[in-house]
Amino acid sequence: MKKGLEQLASALEGIGERPAAALAYVKAQATQGDPDSVLAALDDFAENHGFLINVGPVKGRLLGDAVVEAGAEARILELGCFCGYSAVLMARLLQGAGRVVSVEKSETSVRAASEIVAFSGLSERVEILHSASTEAIPGLRGPFDLVFLDHWKDLYRLDLEAIEAAGLLRPGSVIFADNVGPLFNPREYLDYVRGCGRYDSRYIESTVEYTELEDAAEISVFRGA
Residue type, 174: V
In the DSSP assignment, the letter for residue 197 is S
Q: 104, 145, 159, 178: which is the annotated catalytic residue?
A: 178
Q: Are 152 and 53 in contact (CB under 8 A)?
A: no
In the DSSP assignment, the letter for residue 151 is S
Which of helix, strand or coil describes residue 14?
A: coil
Q: 105, 179, 215, 218: which is the annotated catalytic residue?
A: 179
**Which class for 194: exposed (0-12), middle (13-18), buried (19 or more C-beta within 10 A)?**
middle
Q: 153, 159, 215, 218: which is the annotated catalytic residue?
A: 153
**Which class for 160: exposed (0-12), middle (13-18), buried (19 or more C-beta within 10 A)?**
buried
Distances in whole angstroms, Cα of residue 47 to Cα of each of 109, 213, 222? 19, 14, 35
Q: Are 94 and 74 in contact (CB under 8 A)?
A: yes
178 has catalytic annotation: yes
Q: 145, 150, 159, 218: which is the annotated catalytic residue?
A: 150
Q: 104, 145, 159, 209: which is the annotated catalytic residue?
A: 209
179 has catalytic annotation: yes
150 has catalytic annotation: yes
Q: Which residues are designated catalytic?
A: 150, 153, 178-179, 209
